[in-house]
Amino acid sequence: MSNFRNKKKISNFHVPLDLRHPLKPTKRMLSFQGLAELAHREYQSGDFEAAERHCMQLWRQEPDNTGVLLLLSSIHFQCRRLDRSAHFSTLAIKQNPMLAEAYSNLGNVYKERGQLQEAIEHYRHALRLKPDFIDGYINLAAALVAAGDMEGAVQAYVSALQYNPDLYCVRSDLGNLLKALGRLEEAKACYLKAIETQPNFAVAWSNLGCVFNAQGEIWLAIHHFEKAVTLDPNFLDAYINLGNVLKEARIFDRAVAGYLRALSLSPNHAVVHGNLACVYYEQGLIDLAIDTYRRAIELQPHFPDAYCNLANALKEKGNVSEAEECYNTALRLCPTHADSLNNLANIKREQGNIEEAVQLYRKALEVFPEFAAAHSNLASVLQQQGKLQEALMHYKEAIRISPTFADAYSNMGNTLKEMQDVQGALQCYTRAIQINPAFADAHSNLASIHKDSGNIPEAIASYRTALKLKPDFPDAYCNLAHCLQIVCDWTDYEERMKKLVSIVADQLDKNRLPSVHPHHSMLYPLSHGFRKAIAERHGNLCLDKINALHKPAYEHPKDLKASSGRLRIGYVSSDFGNHPTSHLMQSIPGMHNPEKFEVFCYALSPDDSTNFRVKVVAEAHHFTDLSQIPCNGKAADRIQQDGIHILVNMNGYTKGARNELFALRPAPIQAMWLGYPGTSGAPFMDYIITDKETSPMEVAEQYSEKLAYMPNTFFIGDHANMFPHLKKKAVIDFKSNGHIFDNRIVLNGIDLKAFLDSLPDVKVIKMKCDNNQEAAGDTNGALSMPVIPMNTAAEAIINMINQGQIQVTINSFTVSNGLATTQINNKAATGEEVPRTIVVTTRSQYGLPEDSIVYCNFNQLYKIDPPTLQMWANILKRVPNSVLWLLRFPAVGEPNIQQYAQNMGLPASRIIFSPVAPKEEHVRRGQLADVCLDTPLCNGHTTGMDVLWAGTPMVTMPGETLASRVAASQLNCLGCPELIAQSRKDYEDIAVKLGSDMEYLKMVRARVWKQRICSPLFNTKQYTMDLERLYLQMWEHHSNGSKPEHLVKFQTVENSENA
């Protein structure tokens, strides 16, 4: 914005109006007086040549006349003949050493020459000679300003005004000085007094507008600028200032009008052309902005601001190379042009030249340490490089400099979120929105916090707000799509999927980071190539971060000498604690053969004080908490120093991952395992541990890694260790009508056998596991199930359930209500300990019908899609006496599922929802269902193991992704391939047969119950041995100097021992 001051003025010269002699006039004197008045009029009109000619005539007549000498001094000064001006002032002083005006004129010459101290001394001398010399005070003030003595200048102006308070121009100049000193209220008082003295003084109105603008009073500023141009329609600076404040207020049409009026007054004003171009840019008139910037440059070729802004517009048009050239031109004109340094850094960053970008940001900050945008941009790059603390420091600097910098608040929120400071991130996003309610990115970031916190309705609302503000916002759209998937809101589902796929296609085509997260890509109809490319982009982000560390490549162990012949395995996970991954594998570190393997576990999360963490810490040979080493470089150093041979990535792209550690390659072999259902897409991961059912060779191109097959299934569960009380069960024959059900009232417990031995009349029925047993008359392989008749003990148990009691004592045994586990033993409820009571689980506890077929699915609701619900509705219609049991996971999804089911012709009563339960109850209550219906889109992985351990058959239909084939792998390993469907029709038919043919259902249930113990599916010891053989294959391949290849032929025990 212009400086709102008057145009530069020549210092005030004393030009005497009265050159008459004091004596009685003669004819010669009258001639002298007339000539003097003529010379004075010519001087005032700017005809300095004529004025000088007539003054010289006067001087020849009276060489000692000080008035003539002063006028000659003034004329020569205006003509820039400073020496001649000083000469005549000196002559005047010789004639009259007390002539204050001559000292003042001589001071003006010194000031113009830049000899400020000499000028100030002459002005002060003039004022000593003549204390009421107003022009002397004004000239002194100007010299003091030039010398940097602002307070002295203020006092000089004040002194002038004491002698004449009506000098409105001087009062306005004093206001300018006070404004420059930041004393805005005092400046405002000066301008108001000037206007009071001269209401039509346009300059004061404009200057007062400047003060209001500085105080944030935009509308008052606009009013005063408009008043200034009304008073003076040719007031160029006021029109410029009006345009500037309207531009800042984003009143673009009126800003354009103000600038155009200024250009009508001064068509070649380059700065106004530049400002006008900025408005066109903000209006989205990019082509017009470019033309106008070019005009500004044409008028002022050495105009770095214009080049910088032109570059911004060219970049917006996609002309990145030309934009880069313009930024460089601006920097050639002005190497310290901070905006150009910052904006050029932005281009370098987008081009992937991260280090060059960092250098440019830092240089911009060297030039201009208070450059808030550069602090924020540098922080963003540092965050990308994983330097979170340094990034946070720069964001805080940006906000200190610019407390209303909404972008900095929003980006700082992202950093705090990455640092797991959710509350801090929430505060930052909220503050950003308070500052700028139309800030779409902040609304989107706030939505992400709500989403991660499980507050899905709030997340959906914030994403929708972001999209209203910014319709073309891929991140917000894709995250909204995921939220809607979580709550099963399938409004315009097909259109949403089409748009999401097109967004990903466009982003991949432009080599941008896709807005769909790798872990979510399995939920959408994306091609294998797209899913792999999404993962690859995220892998490349990890490489970008570690490249910034400039670490040399690690030396890796080439043999097993340093480890005494043992293979060192490093398991890296953020989930060593109460997490499904630990529920699956917590026993494996302790089951490795210590003679051949040395186990290292690296935790990426702090200790959660659960028994899961305690077990892994105790049973691994070495345990390191890398959450205490936030620097990826130092954490990788620690792994490398341990001499790891095979480093295992158990996170992939799940929460808490630090794939940067793997990108640094601290181990010679690196493998994906268990925790992430897909490819890493990363060149630094060598293998993915899988199996032939989950990852058949014909889809190997889906993976960036080489396939390493386990012999049965790559999946494992520690259920036999965590839930041994579910190995056996007994039921109560509550109907006593000859129809005994294995899943209406179920008893489990470590002491179940002893408890049953204490009861009278307990009978054992045999349940065949397949048709061949009946044909052969074989009952040895049949399942034995104890049945408690309706006796006193049974009645006591049923009364406990019906009355909501916590537990009862029967024959010295404690029998507990299955809903009260958390009240009895919280660690037993979480699965950290085994319940010590006999636990009772009944359908009545969950509102399940006693006489119906109960189909269940205990997955999170996001795994359900419209085709899956349609299949389930079809099944329920074909099995009239059946219900579907789902979880409120989340609860806000329940009404949507119910509504869509009703639209499919299914009454609401046919679907029963239960709340999410603690782990032990969650697994145990799976016994109550007859059949589990798996979600084909994304199978139940841990949930599938949970329901199979409960003895409930699971129907699945494998798809094309890893996530959709896990359940088939589990069922094959279990020995129940007949539950794997090959089509939608097959899926429905299998489920309907199980729900319609009671004998077949009993047989399949008996087989599942038996096979979970007999098959390898839950055999962690056998699994560990198989895993060891696979590790040995990897190491043998590596030690032979071979690059990773698919390991699909599993070695025999003998071969592995020879290795």
Q: How many residues does the chain have?
A: 1059
Give me Rg for the CA atoms of the chain: 43
Contacts of 886 (CB under 8 A, 6+ apart): 856, 857, 858, 861, 894, 897, 911, 912, 913, 914
Biggest distance spanned by C-alpha atoms of the chain: 159
Q: How far apart are CA 964 and CA 957, in angstroms?
A: 8
On the question of a cis peptide bond just before residue 890, with omega within 30 degrees of 0, the verdict is yes
Q: How far apart are CA 440 and CA 448, in angstroms?
A: 13
Quote helix, strand, coil % in the chain, to nearest 5: 60, 10, 35
Q: What does each C-alpha distance from 895 to 190, 888, 906, 908, 913 come to in angstroms?
A: 68, 10, 13, 10, 10
According to DSSP, the β-strands at 745-748 and 730-732 are antiparallel
932 three-state secondary structure: strand
Q: What number of CA atoms fall less than 13 Å from residue 515's CA on the CB side?
A: 22
86-113 b/e (C-beta count within 10 Å ≥ 16 → b): bbbbbbbbeeeeebbbbbbbbbbbbbee
Strand partners, 785: 765
Q: How far apart are CA 1053 and CA 265, in angstroms?
A: 94
Q: How far apart are CA 1028 and CA 956, in angstroms?
A: 30
Contacts of 952 (CB under 8 A, 6+ apart): 743, 856, 926, 927, 929, 930, 931, 932, 1005, 1008
Residue 173 corresponds to which amino acid? D
15 three-state secondary structure: coil
Q: How far apart are CA 837 and CA 110, in angstroms?
A: 104
Please pick, among 54, 269, 519, 1038, the residue that the annotation labels catalytic. 519
Residue 645 corresponds to which amino acid? H
Q: How far apart are CA 296 and CA 311, in angstroms?
A: 13
- 804: its two tokens: 């909501």
Vertex 983: Cα angle to 980 and 988 (nearest 5): 75
192 three-state secondary structure: helix
Vertex 748: Cα angle to 747 and 754 (nearest 5): 95
From 62, 57, 17, 6, select the one nearest 41 (Cα to Cα).
17
Strand partners, 787: 731, 763
From 514, 457, 464, select the one nearest 486 (Cα to Cα).
457
- Residue 519 catalytic? yes
Q: What does each C-alpha distance from 227 to 50, 195, 200, 250, 519 come to in angstroms?
A: 40, 12, 9, 20, 61
Contacts of 414 (CB under 8 A, 6+ apart): 383, 425, 445
- 533: its two tokens: 């490319």
Phi, psi of 440 (to 5 degrees): -60, -40
319-342 b/e (C-beta count within 10 Å ≥ 16 → b): eeeebbebbebbbebbeebbbbbb
Vertex 589: Cα angle to 585 and 594 (nearest 5): 150
> What are the residue numbers of the active site?
519
